[in-house]
Structure 1
Amino acid sequence: MSDNQNKELLSGDWTEKTVTSKPIFAGKVISLQVDTVALPNGKEAAREIVRHPGAAAVIALVDGKLLVVEQYRKPLERFQIEIPAGKLDPNEDPMTAAARELEEETGYRAENLVLYNAFATSPGFADEVIYIYFTDQAVPGEQRLDEDEFLHVSAITMEQADAYIAEGRICDAKTLIAVLTWKLYAATGKLLS
Structure 2
Amino acid sequence: MSLVKSDYEEVTISTKPIFNGKVISLQVDEVQLPNGQTATRELVKHPGAVAVIALVDDRMIFVDQFRKPLERMQVEIPAGKLDSGEEPLEAARRELEEETGYACESLSHVCSFYTSPGFADEILHIYVAEGLKQVGELKLDEDEFLDCLLLTFEDAQRLIQEQRISDSKTIFAVYAWQIYRLTGKWS
Q: Same fold (TM over 0.5)?
A: yes
What does 1:156-175 correspond to in 2, within 5 Å? 156-175=151-170
Pick one of 161, 176, 179 that aligns with 1:184: 179
Change (3 A) 1:103 1:12: closer
With normalisation by structure 2, the TM-score equals 0.95
| Alpha-carbon distance in structure 2 between the residues aligned to 1:25 and 1:79 | 27
Any runs of at least 4 consecutive aligned residues in structure 1 with deviations exceeding 6 A, and if so which?
none
Aligned match of 1:4: none
**Counterparts of 1:162 and 1:12, CA distance in 2:** 40
DSSP-derived class of the 1:113 partner: strand
CA offsets per residue over residues 134-184 of structure 1, 9 Å max, x none?
Answer: 023211112211111111111100110011001110000100010000110
Give 1:47's aligned amino acid: R
Matched with 1:8 is none
Instruction: Look up the match of 1:153.
Output: 148
Gaps of 5+ in 2: none
Report the residue type matching 1:158 in the other structure.
F
Q: Which has the larger radius of gyration?
A: 1
Structure 1 SS opposite 2:121: coil
Instruction: Indicate yes or no: 2:140 matched with 1:140.
Output: no
Could you tell me how far apart the structure 2 residues matched to 1:133 and 1:141 are?
19
CA deviation after TM superposition for structure 1 residue 110, in Å? 1.4
Alpha-carbon distance between aligned partners in 2 of 1:37 and 1:183, rounded to the nearest angstrom: 43
CA RMSD of aligned residues (A): 1.1
Across the two proteins, how many residue pairs are aligned to each other? 182
Larger % of helix: which?
Answer: 1
Q: Give TM-score, length-normalised by structure 1.
A: 0.92
Letter in 1 for 2:31: V
CA–CA distance in 2 between the matches of 1:174 and 1:76? Answer: 16
Q: Decide which of 5, 8, 13 is 1:14's aligned counterpart.
A: 8
2:88 partner letter: P
1:100 to 78, 94, 102: 94
CA positional deviation for 1:12: 5.9
- 1:9-40 per-position Cα deviation (integer Å, ceiling 9, x unaligned): xx962210100000011111000000000111
Distance in 2 between residues matched to 1:136 and 1:66, nearest whole Å: 12
CA distance in 1, matches of 2:177, 2:98: 22
- Give the Cα–Cα distance (whole angstroms) in 2 for the partners of residues 96 and 137 of structure 1: 16
